[in-house]
């Protein structure tokens, strides 16, 4: 039985993540998605919300399940008897950091291998950060996320925009010039 874990923040899950999940789930018997819950980070969505959006997105994939975790990815893998960590690679910038992380993980747990899947071209630019940026300006994100995520994002940013005082702006992002 070959098991793999696919860790990430998934704040929120995008079609880029889903592409990796679908492809990875076809390579292993069981794929365990690990939602990283880092107390020092301030995600847009709670772990419960991220879980629900992921669960909806993978409902047609029977060999995929979702867990949350806090701590080292290798420990998460070992706890679930998985010998493979799946990571997605988009660009050279991903490569540098991923290489360092994978090497560090190997020194901690040599029995756990990291496997990289190269992004499909249409998602090469896509990240949760980009999606949040577009949604914060009420842009159309329907090509980048599932309908449920698009709706949750719309609600979240509608609340945020309403809550803002009338002066000031939300500039300074990576999309707005
Ligand atoms: P992000 O980088 O979008 O904030 P995560 O921290 O949740 O996402 O990333 C989890 C994993 O998914 C990482 O290995 C990351 O490289 C990969 N990933 C994220 N977006 C894509 C994409 N568009 N194509 C391929 N892999 C991706």
- Structural domains present in the chain: 3-121 (3.40.50.620)
Q: Which is nearest to 33 in space by CA: 60, 2, 9, 1? A: 9
Q: Is the pLDDT of residue 173 over 70?
A: no
- pTM score of the predicted model: 0.89
Give which of 65, 4, 66, 58 is closest to 35, Cα–Cα: 66
Q: What is the pLDDT of residues 43-90, one digit of tens each?
A: 999 999 999 999 999 999 999 999 999 999 999 999 999 999 999 999
The residue nearest atom 16 of ligand 1, judged by CA position, is 88
- What is the best residue among 117, 127, 134, 146 to mutate for testing ligand 1's pocket, by most ligand atoms within 8 Å of CB? 127
What is d(CA 7, CA 114) in angstroms, rounded to the nearest whole number? 11
* Mean pLDDT confidence for 113-140: 95
């Amino acid at each position: 039985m070959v098991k793999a874990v696919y860790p990430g923040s998934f704040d929120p899950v995008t079609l880029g993540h889903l592409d990796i999940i679908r492809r990875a789930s076809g390579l292993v018997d069981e794929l365990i998605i690990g939602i990283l819950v880092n107390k020092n980070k301030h995600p847009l969505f709670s772990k419960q919300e991220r879980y629900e959006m992921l669960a909806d997105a993978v409902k047609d994939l029977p060999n995929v399940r979702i867990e949350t975790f806090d701590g080292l990815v290798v420990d998460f893998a070992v706890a679930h008897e998985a010998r493979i960590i799946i990571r997605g690679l988009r660009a050279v910038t991903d490569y540098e950091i991923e290489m360092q992380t994978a090497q560090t993980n190997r020194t901690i747990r040599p029995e756990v291998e990291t496997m990289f899947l190269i992004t499909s071209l249409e998602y090469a630019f896509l990240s949760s950060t980009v999606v949040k940026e577009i949604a914060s300006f009420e842009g159309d994100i329907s090509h980048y996320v599932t309908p449920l995520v698009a709706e949750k994002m719309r609600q979240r940013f509608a609340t945020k925009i309403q809550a803002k005082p009338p002066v000031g702006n939300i500039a300074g992002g990576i999309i707005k010039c």
